[in-house]
Amino acid sequence: AGGPRGTAPGQQLRALFYALGPGESSFRTVEEVPDYVEKSIPFFITFIGLEFAVSWIQKRKLPGRINDGISSLSLGILSRLPDVLFRSIELISYIYVWNNYRLFELPWDSPWTWYLTLLGVDFAYYCFHRMSHEVNILWAAHQVHHSSEDYNLFTALRQSVLQKYTSWMFNLPMALFIPPSVFAVHLQFNLLYQFWIHTEVITKLGPLEWILNTPSHHRVHHGRNPYCIDKNYGGTLIIWDRIFGTFEAEDAKVVYGLTHPVNSFDPIMLQLRPLAHIWNTFWATPGFCNKLSVIFKGPGWGPGKPRLGLPEEIPVITGKEVPFNPHVPAYLNFYAFVHFAVILDLYVELLASMTILSQGTVLLRIGFIILSLASFGLLMENKSKAGILEVIRCLVFIGAYKLGCFRSHYSFLGYAYEV
């Protein structure tokens, strides 16, 4: 009941908390490994609703805003779109090294292999995550995740399109001896675990704070207070931060976001502007070695400064910071919310049917999703050209829907979508 091993609802729920043991999540081949991330989408939605309810009961306020929430979800969808067309580069590179260069082979069904992989994947994530804050070109991708000035479960889904194309290399040493099927399980578990720690409704978790990454620890990581900068890089475990001196306990109230906020809800701009900044800084900086430093030293570096920049240049937090929140009529926010729900449904339907669709139809749907997410971002910023783009988008939708290129995941909604 509930599907193949590893996909029953109870198991899927426990996968969110890294609570599946070796006997439930060990597989002989990569092809047998469930897509735990995709199957977790209903739980993401459920927990987001629960977070809103608990926050309202606790504080009489919601944990986020419509515009920021839609922006986070848009970035999450964008980050997953390449996986519709291509197999994950993390798995492709790992399997290649395993097939051609492995030194020995640990048994895929051994609990010792399972727990060793847990530690290996989490340590690799710590190394990658730390480098993503200390190397400017990596930070250009990773800062997308930090760009929200809210901190809630929506923020967990706020991911970069480009980050996975730099993270894969940190996992390759494990491919010398750990089977790809075991790695594929823990790669997903490590990602899923980090969903639930993006919340303010959970305070402290007692002794677990010494070992696990928790909401309290991760709130520090997302802060722009000077004491929060470059701290708490762990994924599932906090032990690496304690060992390597990057741990910081939550203290003063955390103010979230980037030290220099981007002030936008446009998911395309949020992905590309950091790269444009590096490009412009690269050409404006004199000297070949300095140009290389722009790319490979910290985002706060400048000529004559230490590798990670000067701590005293981090903007002071006054407690009076106001998140970017342009005035938009309520009906426009409602409009964006309803149309985003349509796009979310089309995205879920695309994931469910991509194996039976032609490549042209898949590319059309992906292009339309990207166009829609960009349009919603401009609408929520009340940009002057947003209305023109939205009219074009709606006309494209009607035409493609009438031609049968789009369809709802729920057939009974077809007429409503046309309306």
Q: Over the stretch 206-251, which tens digit does the pLDDT of each residue have?
A: 999 999 999 999 999 999 999 999 999 999 999 999 999 999 999 9
- Distances from the Cα of 280 to the Cαs of 48, 267, 273, 274, 285, in angstroms? 39, 21, 10, 10, 9
Report d(CA 407, CA 158) in Å as an integer. 26
Model confidence band, residue 3 (pLDDT cutoffs 50, 70, 90): very low
Q: What share of the chain is helix, strand, coil (3-state, %, to 5)?
A: 60, 0, 40
* pLDDT (0 to 100) of residue 5: 59
| Residue 81 near residue 366, CB atoms below 8 Å | yes
Q: Over the stretch 140-183, which tens digit does the pLDDT of each residue have?
A: 999 999 999 999 999 999 999 999 888 999 999 999 999 999 99
Token pair of 401, please? 């829907």
Q: Over the stretch 126-138, which tens digit does the pLDDT of each residue have?
A: 999 999 999 999 9
Burial 266-298 (b: 16+ CB within 10 A, else e): bbbbbbebbeebbeebbeebeeeebeebbeebb
Any idea where the domains of the chain sit in the sequence? 11-244, 281-313, 330-403
Distance of CA 16 to the CA centre of its chain: 15
Q: Is the pTM of this model over 0.85?
A: yes
Average confidence (pLDDT) over 191-197 = 97
Nearest to 154 by CA among 234, 45, 270, 43: 45
pLDDT higher than 60, residue 2? no
| Residue 97 near residue 292, CB atoms below 8 Å | no
Model confidence band, residue 257 (pLDDT cutoffs 50, 70, 90): very high
- Distances from the Cα of 301 to the Cαs of 10, 87, 290, 291, 309, in angstroms? 48, 36, 10, 11, 4
